[in-house]
A and B are shown apart, each in its own frame.
Chain A
């Protein structure tokens, strides 16, 4: 089935650790995104990428890093510099930007908890 696959679904991080969340899509989408969701809040953009080997910071990029070595993959690393990482992380993708009404599709999400 075509879609966006995130893994793991649940992840626990110890203080001072870096962790990486995986995101893979087989929709042949050019653009990929990472959002963070906190309880009772809307989604906030962490990073986005329009093409391979290029990515841009979103509203809350501090303490996070990404890479885009392949079109279908956009992993997110939550570094130890992120002081409050416990949240639900959503990966998304869309066709090339610049089209009106461009729809962004989301994965199932990954829960990250600091222990």
Chain B
């Protein structure tokens, strides 16, 4: 079956620090990969996505590269801000026609001034 494993949180960083949140997956077929962000008390927002190997998704300074050989989709940002404090979810959708996202458990990020 499909599964997503994210690094355990919480992660606490100082403002302007470099961020990496690791995500690895197991999937049947050839999945699409997503990062969603959830701010306190809110729903999920799509942050970025990639649909094929070596694709790089990017948005708001965040990046993630679809690595098929290592089955990974690590999220990175060069300089975090306090406003980036949120929970980040890695997810996959396995193949065309799939109806379901499989989520990791989420990683809580706190950025301190």
Chain A residues close to B by CB (< 8 Å): 4, 6, 31, 33, 40-43, 45, 48, 50, 56, 58, 90, 92, 97-109
Q: Which residues of chain B (35-88) have a CB below 8 Å from chain A?
A: 36, 41-46, 49, 51
Chain A's nearest CB lies how many Å from the CB of B69?
A: 20
Q: Let me know if A97 and B97 touch, CB within 8 A.
A: yes
Q: Let me know if A43 and B98 touch, CB within 8 A.
A: no
Check A98/B96 contact, CB under 8 A, given A40-B106, A103-B49: yes
Q: Which residue of B lies closest to A50 (CB)?
A: B99
Q: Let me know if A101 and B49 touch, CB within 8 A.
A: yes
Q: How far is the CA of A50 from the CA of B99 in the complex (A)?
A: 8
Q: Let me know if B97 and A103 touch, CB within 8 A.
A: no
In the bound complex, residues from chain B placing their C-beta under 8 Å from that of A92 are 44
Chain A's nearest CB lies how many Å from the CB of B88?
A: 11
Q: Let me know if A97 and B99 touch, CB within 8 A.
A: yes
Q: Which residue of B lies closest to A90 (CB)?
A: B43
Chain B's nearest CB lies how many Å from the CB of A75?
A: 17
With A4-B43, A6-B43, A41-B105 already in contact, 11 other A-B pairs whose C-beta atoms are closer than 8 Å: A41-B106, A43-B44, A45-B100, A56-B99, A90-B44, A100-B95, A102-B93, A103-B46, A104-B93, A106-B45, A109-B43
B109 within 8 A of A: no
**Cross-chain contact of A98 among B43, B44, B49, B97 (Cβ < 8 A):** B97
Q: How far is the CA of A98 from the CA of B42 in the complex (A)?
A: 28
Chain A's nearest CB lies how many Å from the CB of B59?
A: 12
Q: Which residue of B lies closest to A108 (CB)?
A: B43
Check A109/B42 contact, CB under 8 A, given A31-B99, A97-B99: yes
B25 within 8 A of A: no
Chain B's nearest CB lies how many Å from the CB of A70?
A: 20
In the bound complex, residues from chain A placing their C-beta under 8 Å from that of B45 are 106
In the bound complex, residues from chain A placing their C-beta under 8 Å from that of B105 are 40-42
In the bound complex, residues from chain A placing their C-beta under 8 Å from that of B95 are 100
In the bound complex, residues from chain B placing their C-beta under 8 Å from that of A104 are 46, 93, 101
